[in-house]
Amino acid sequence: MFDIIRIVVDFAAFYAIYLMLSVSLELEYGETGISNFGKAMFFAAGAFTAGALVIRLAGPIAGLIISESELKLRSVYYSTLVSRYFAAHPGVALAILFLMLILGALFGAVLGYLASYPAIRLREDYLGITLIAASELVRVIGRNYDPLIGGTLGTAVPDPFAWLMGRQREIVVSTFMMIIALTSFIVTASLSRSPFGRLLRAVRDSETAAEALGKDVVKVRMKSLMIGSAIAGAAGVLYAFYMGFVHADDFNPIKTFIVWVMVIIGGSGNIWGAAIGTFVYLLIDRGIALVKHQFTLPFDINYVSYAVLGTLLVAVLMFRPEGLLPEKPLSTIPRKILKMRVKAQK
């Protein structure tokens, strides 16, 4: 009845994308205390990069003449031609893929830098509202400014793995995405248990004391937002390639909210919490998506899924605010060594 491999492979791809997003929010909110309610905007930065550039960049390489005036209406056509070229030239395809990942991360970081301007001046609630508004502003522009990603029509994105076929392709794509996601996870985890991570937590717990101890709070928050946004931007690039299509309305505040749900259910302040929270969320979400065709209901079951998640989140906030995996002290030097040091003195 179900194609198990397909389900697993699809799950892995979504897990990779959302893991990157939740890890980035973990760094920004869980560790630094920045209420980033504009995650969808940084995610969009990466997706828009791929959506706007791949056809324009790879088209001429493939010998196509891309007409700007026709791009909006014929993006699917151009995209198919570019994919066909990619099928014959894996090297070019991969080079474009990596270039997009780098550019997406870069644009994400630039947006993060801009967002740090309000992030260091406003109280958490005002900052949250500002970032939601900014995120919606980016979405409205993406939706209406046709040259970017085709406006209301959206744009197709060529397939950089077109040189593989069928099942093999699906597995390679998901594996590639998981490798990128795990790399972000490992980098963030090692930042988190370093003196830098300690500094982030210090800024989160008391800005006043951090200032008094010579920490440039403004810079610390800026760095955290830039690193987090670069990861979110790269996730956006992966998302655009995986879906093969980019549409501005996909990057609405619900996307941001989903990432918050993951971080809070998992346990903010603990990077493993982000990993678990993402898994739990996707399990529920994909699970409902899988079984929904089994029922005929007088309403769309997706709304039940949202209502359940909202309720679940409120329940977690009330009864287990620390999440599934609460924050633990992390030490830069293994705790065993520290404990031995204390004993030796006695």
Partner 1 sequence: MKNPTLRGIDLVKRFGGVVALDGVNIEVPPRSVVMLIGPNGSGKTTLINVVSGYYLPDRGMVFLNGREITRLEPHERFGLGLVRTFQIPEPFKKLTVLENILLAARSHPGESAFKVIFRRSWRQYEEEIIEKAFRILELLNIDHIWDTRAYQLSGGQLKLLEIGRALMSDPMLLLMDEPVAGVNPVLAHNIMEHIVRLRDNLGISFLIVEHRLDIVLDYVDKVYAMHRGKIIAEGGPKRVIENPLVAEAYLGG
Partner 2 sequence: MLPVTVLIDSLLYGNLITLMAIGLTLTYLTLKIPNFAHGDLAMVGVYSAYTVAVFLNINPYTLLPIAFLMGGLSALGTYILVYRPLFRKGASIVVMMVASIAVDIVIRSILQIYADIMSSTFNVYSRGFLFKDFSLNIYEVRLPGVLVISSLTVLAIIVSLYLFLSKTRFGIAMRAAIENPWLASSLGINVELVYGISWFIAGGITGLAGVFLPFRIPTNPDLGWLMLLSVFAASILGGLESLFGAIAGGYVVGFSEILGIYVLSSPPFGISTAYRPAIPFTILIITLLLAPRGITSVEWNKIATRLRRNV
Site residues, partner 1 (CB under 8 A) = 191, 194-196, 198-199, 201-202, 204-206, 208-217, 223, 227, 269, 327, 329, 331-333, 335, 338-339, 341-342, 345
- Per-residue binding string, partner 2, 33-72, x by CB under 8 A, is --x-x-----------------------------------
Task: Measure Cα distances from 319 to 226, 304, 312, 323 in Å.
Answer: 33, 22, 10, 9
d(CA 193, CA 185): 12
Task: Show Cβ contacts of residue 297 under 8 Å, excluding neighbours closer than 6 positions.
Answer: none
Structure tokens, 61: 């390489």
What is the three-class DSSP state of 193? coil
Q: Which does 298 bind (CB under 5 to 8 A by kind): partner 1, partner 2, none?
A: partner 2
Structure tokens, 2: 């179900």
Q: Which does 195 bind (CB under 5 to 8 A by kind): partner 2, partner 1, none?
A: partner 1
Taking CB under 8 A as the rule, does residue 280 contact partner 2? no
Task: Show Cβ contacts of residue 236 under 8 Å, excluding neighbours closer than 6 positions.
Answer: 42, 43, 44, 45, 46, 47, 48, 49, 50, 104, 108
The amino acid occupying position 314 is V
Structure tokens, 192: 């988190």
Taking CB under 8 A as the rule, does residue 141 contact partner 2? yes
Stretch that binds partner 2, among 60-68, 104-112, 129-137, 221-229 (CB under 8 A): 129-137
Task: Show Cβ contacts of residue 253 under 8 Å, excluding neighbours closer than 6 positions.
Answer: 37, 40, 132, 135, 136
Structure tokens, 337: 């060594």
Residue in 7, 56, 60, 117 binding partner 2, rule: CB under 8 A: 117
**In terms of CB distance, is 196 or 272 closer to partner 1?**
196
Task: Measure Cα distances from 43 to 139, 172, 258, 259, 304 in Å.
Answer: 11, 23, 13, 11, 25
- Nearest distance from C-beta of residue 56 to partner 2, angstroms: 23
Residue in 17, 101, 173, 264 binding partner 2, rule: CB under 8 A: 264
- Nearest distance from C-beta of residue 195 to partner 2, angstroms: 25
Q: Which does 300 bind (CB under 5 to 8 A by kind): partner 1, partner 2, none?
A: partner 2
Which residues of this protein are in contact with partner 2, per CB under 8 A? 29, 35, 37, 117-118, 121-126, 128-130, 132-134, 136-137, 140-141, 143-144, 253-254, 257, 260-261, 264, 298-300, 303-304, 306-307, 309-311, 313-314, 317-318, 321
